[in-house]
Structure 1
């Protein structure tokens, strides 16, 4: 954003900045901050974020006074990375700049003492500075370098809001029939075109229902675990979730995941109990199982409707259609279509022969036309060709319409919000600023992680050195634990973290690998991702990996010989892979090798104390000899032994002397008698059991 409205900004009846402040926050200080006057409650409208605002004029702001931070914190902030931000921005805008989720930012603000906050609350410089400080940044007001595109506010004139079609997401377990249900609704054949009958990408389709004649936009999200991330994106842009559960399989793991995503999205749900035409179908069990998993189904007096259907025969499909329409109608979905820039979401992206980079784009606000400039993430496009789901060219696409658009400069990431820019110049400026901020945030995060790892290694080295010093003074480990238990307690409680740097051929692979290995391990050892990037490893990667003690995972990229040599000299290991499963297995093996060693005691022989003898040594000192019989195994002079008395271990040490009759011997076998003394202070008793033992390392697994 900038301090003045851009030349090609929206007309005056659609101001580009959210000037209506939400209820002012209450800062929990000694003096209560007075509230602002609350705005009039809004009528229920579209739940989706509105389209973008570009560089704003200065709005009426809601100022928040806070206590000054301690001087040392202020001084430390001068060395922190600086984020360029506009003079005024909303909570949602700031979350976008910080690359955090809005709920996370609101929670952080609540922890700072702010109350009654909303997404569109306008932050002033003082408040933004306080929040940024919590994330390790210093903010710098620069309306040029801070320029960006944000979702636009809802119009003050409610006449500009028009009803739109609902976005309905189909979710569920693998092969429970999601695509078959869609196929029936839109009277086309898409199942045959999918590999193995399983949908591999998010598909968006507009359906005019045969009974109610109303339009619904369906998203068909994959059900298997490999596409968890895509399914989450589907849930976040939907109005209604249709959960498909097969009548013969009931609730499966992916069903539980879909339930979680639907709840997180906060949208109504309809349950379609599919395959009810099969002889082993048991829809009543499905209803009971869903209720057992916290779904308040209508059958048991709740609010979630269940419909028994068969996507194959058409059984109950009319009821499902009407149920979806009824639930959607209750939402009163409206959005602005005219006099507003376009806003939408990237669902898919790929490179097509003859078209270049194309993306499936779901319009949520405004009217998209060829020639429009759309910014999504770190790329932009001037819409060259626009087609519907059947490949037919379109001249205009309104809200809730999925279209395939070409003209992208780079491949946009699925799940990115797309916002219309008035000019190419502004689009390029926004991309430049976003790339700078992304790099700054990533570098700051990496530096923080590397400093943390360095501090941990220094602290571990300090503890080890301290323990060695005590041992040189003659103290045993038990003595040191009693003297300074913190030298061991911290180490025992600490989880071992194994950091990785991921370098891959494409961003999709890097992201998939990061998601696959993030959090692998247990409470003793766990993997972490320092960062993931596209391209072969570089000298910079080696330097950063060395500081953090990280291993570099190179996936589908050729590592230059000079980089291999540099890594070897730096002590950084580079592991190369072509198959993701091999990479994951290698990470698991590494984590397993880092698990703390555990041992079990193996008893090699058992010897019973039968009587005690007292002898006088040459120096006239007396020594007690235990007269024993070996009852199991072979007792060796070199063995480590423990003395057991009534089941408790009272001594552990080495054998000082071992005799058979009058001869010193190296071992005594089962059934033979012997006399022995142990190297240590111990008082024997008849009946004690002396066991020779060996500590055997236990093979550990994750």
Structure 2
């Protein structure tokens, strides 16, 4: 092997095969490695060696080997010798490879050192050129200043040129200065950007970056490709002479009393950061989520060059103003029928017979507690929407809401009971709503039924049926036997045909909430009767103080549907809170509109409640304080399964009480009784009333620990009776006086240590020391008090019978005279009950 050229390798006779392998390392370094493959040496014994083995040491001839060495020992030594030769060959090859690698490393380090020296020389050369350039420019700038200072003197008329030759020299100097000026400006522009930018820009465009530039890091930050493209675009537009900056668009910005900063920026189509910056310049440290007043917003809008349009908070509801429907868009819709009547007159049973479904079994005590909405398809194919309203007096307001959304009222009157108080209320509701009425005389299968009596009593309330030559249809029916059901459906269809009910299913939906409740698994659920338009899944709506997005629609059969047209009752899922029964549902375009309208309505209702509960003058405050002191209150928390039941219970509570005692509902809500309700009840010392709801486990534990009473009810009668009994316990007991005797004073004695003592004769009844006494003079009460002493002769006694004489002395009173009459009475307390 030769170390000088590095090409000759150590080999073994037999010709090793060699090759090169390229290795890659980090930072782009590579290296070629020579790899040799040694052929396996095969030793073949020569022919006849076994026969002529006398001269060979491998033959095992004892005469040719050292003494005392066996054949096995000889074989072992031969193998050891072969292994040593192989190891020696491997070590020689490894030494050759290591030497070659060290030589390559030395060569690479020499090249890197030379490259660094070249780069250093280039940097020093560039610095030297830059210093020379700056020195030259400084000299030229000094000369230019001197020429500029000399130019005004040459222009003065009092020193004309001495000769034409001087004028020509001056002109030549001026021309040289004029030629030098553009070059100077060009050099100044070149100096404004970092040295070497031109070369880097060219390299940026070509996509090349040399190793020297990367290692030296000249120039710091470089312009991006996007900046280069923008520069080229500006140069191209400037060359073409067009594409000037666009004119700013001036917008009309609507601003309410208060507005959020981000919403203001959105309405102006400006960046939020710019709006916040302007507010900070005005000294207002606000964020994009804070609100500002209209005056501040006006200053910001004018600063950005827009026009302000002031609106009030109530204008947010203008987006849901009713739209006039075109006659060609109107289509026929099913009628909405409300079943009304007195409690237990068979309203739900009649609807049950029409629907062929058992609804009564699901109501506690067979009494309808909620408004139910159902759709029925008759044998003739007509679709009817029914509303079943409770008949109990506590649900008057619920029936009123039912009459407001209905087209036809079916007044159910029992033939055996005839007209009852709730029947009269239903008639008044129907008349107030201007809704046509159909009288269904129910329970005609009973022996004591008298339909004619019903028709006659209806005349007293200005309801004249057809049998009495009037215009109101009447049908005799029996929910038990099915009698007259077909005639009733025909009468409803005839009345609906006369009304010509139409609606536009292509517009945004408009509906009324019949009932609302908080379902444990589904959240707030509202039963909505669509009155106009079509309600679809995914619609964004606002209903009362709540808003939401339709997550699902469930019809009266419990099936999910994609949409609901006019006169279709559906359960709507997707509200953010439980609305009030009777609220109007309107579909809007965006969530922002829905949220804004709901927040405005919530704030307006809050302000209204605050104004109603606040006293405005000092006299009102004093009267209210005096009233609160004289009136005892029974605080109650009410939780019900649906909104309508909660409202009815609250109204029933408000009717309980008199001028001394009243029931105050601290909170009425929908859903299960929670730990928060228990905390409020404990703080107020109030019981919790649950109507068709139960307390969850944490609430039960908290109630047991804090001693809060929870009562559960499923029928409203029992609830009202219990609350009335509890409120009666707050009434102060009535004090009654029972006169037990009279005594007349005969003489007055003065006794030392006691004072004046009256010698009396008991003229009527009995005189007792424990009783109360009044002193009458000429039948006028002079004093009322108690006896200090009652004596019979010299003995103190408890009572003195009529006809006997005794001595009496009053407690802390001495003005007694003969002929005065003493009235003796006893007081007893009598418990009172609320009516």
Scaled by the length of structure 2, the TM-score of the pair is: 0.51
> 800, 808, 812: which is aligned to 1:669?
800
CA 306–261 in structure 1, closer or farther in 2 if over 3 Å, else same: same
RMSD, matched Cα: 4.9
Matched, 1:194 2:368: no
Matched, 1:701 2:814: no
Cα drift, residue 344 of structure 1: 0.8
Cα drift, residue 161 of structure 1: 3.9
> 397, 415, 423: which is aligned to 2:564?
397
Find the aligned partners of 1:560 and 1:206 in 2 and give their Cα distance: 40
Find the aligned partners of 1:393 and 1:510 in 2 and give their Cα distance: 27
- Cα deviations by residue, 1:162-186 (Å, 9 ceiling, x for unpaired): 4433211012234433234334445
Say whether the 8 Å CA contact 2:764–2:802 is kept in structure 1.
Answer: yes
- Which position in structure 1 is the counterpart of 2:761? 628
> 435, 438, 443: which is aligned to 1:275?
443
Find the aligned partners of 1:303 and 1:420 in 2 and give their Cα distance: 39
Cα drift, residue 655 of structure 1: 4.7
Find the aligned partners of 1:276 and 1:539 in 2 and give their Cα distance: 50
Say whether the 8 Å CA contact 1:600–1:696 is kept in structure 2.
Answer: yes
How do 1:444-523 residues align onto structure 2 when only pairs under 5 Å count? 445=612, 455-456=622-623, 460=626, 496=631, 498=633, 500=635, 502=637, 508=643, 511=647, 514-523=650-659
How do 1:215-254 residues align onto structure 2 when only pairs under 5 Å count? 215-224=383-392, 227-254=395-422
Larger radius of gyration: 2
Cα drift, residue 698 of structure 1: 2.4
> 322, 329, 334: which is aligned to 1:153?
322
CA 84–327 in structure 1, closer or farther in 2 if over 3 Å, else same: farther
Say whether the 8 Å CA contact 1:526–1:591 is kept in structure 2.
Answer: yes
Say whether the 8 Å CA contact 1:449–1:530 is kept in structure 2.
Answer: no
CA 373–627 in structure 1, closer or farther in 2 if over 3 Å, else same: closer
Cα drift, residue 262 of structure 1: 3.1
Cα drift, residue 521 of structure 1: 0.6
Structure 1's unaligned 5+ residue stretches are: 1-56, 59-81, 86-139, 461-489, 566-572
CA 149–525 in structure 1, closer or farther in 2 if over 3 Å, else same: farther
- Which position in structure 1 is the counterpart of 2:89? none
Say whether the 8 Å CA contact 1:150–1:419 is kept in structure 2.
Answer: no
- Cα deviations by residue, 1:615-643 (Å, 9 ceiling, x for unpaired): 7899xx9x99554146533433x643236
Cα drift, residue 595 of structure 1: 3.1
Give the SS at the match of 2:594: helix
- Which position in structure 2 is the counterpart of 1:164? 333
Structure 2's unaligned 5+ residue stretches are: 1-252, 260-308, 690-694
Cα drift, residue 599 of structure 1: 1.3
- Which position in structure 1 is the counterpart of 2:737? 601
Cα drift, residue 600 of structure 1: 1.0
Give the SS at the match of 1:313: coil
> 161, 179, 191: which is aligned to 2:348?
179
Once structures 1 and 2 are overlaid, which stretch shifts more, 525-534 or 307-316? 525-534
CA 675–384 in structure 1, closer or farther in 2 if over 3 Å, else same: closer
Q: Which has the higher contact order (CA 8 A, sep 6+)?
A: 1
Give the SS at the match of 1:632: strand
Say whether the 8 Å CA contact 1:240–1:269 is kept in structure 2.
Answer: yes
More helix by share: 2
CA 200–554 in structure 1, closer or farther in 2 if over 3 Å, else same: closer
How do 1:106-145 residues align onto structure 2 when only pairs under 5 Å count? 142=311
Say whether the 8 Å CA contact 1:500–1:531 is kept in structure 2.
Answer: no
How do 1:413-424 residues align onto structure 2 when only pairs under 5 Å count? 413-424=580-591
Give the SS at the match of 2:375: strand
CA 280–592 in structure 1, closer or farther in 2 if over 3 Å, else same: closer
- Which position in structure 1 is the counterpart of 2:542? 375
Find the aligned partners of 1:652 and 1:519 in 2 and give their Cα distance: 40
Find the aligned partners of 1:317 and 1:589 in 2 and give their Cα distance: 44
Cα drift, residue 207 of structure 1: 3.3
Say whether the 8 Å CA contact 1:349–1:360 is kept in structure 2.
Answer: yes
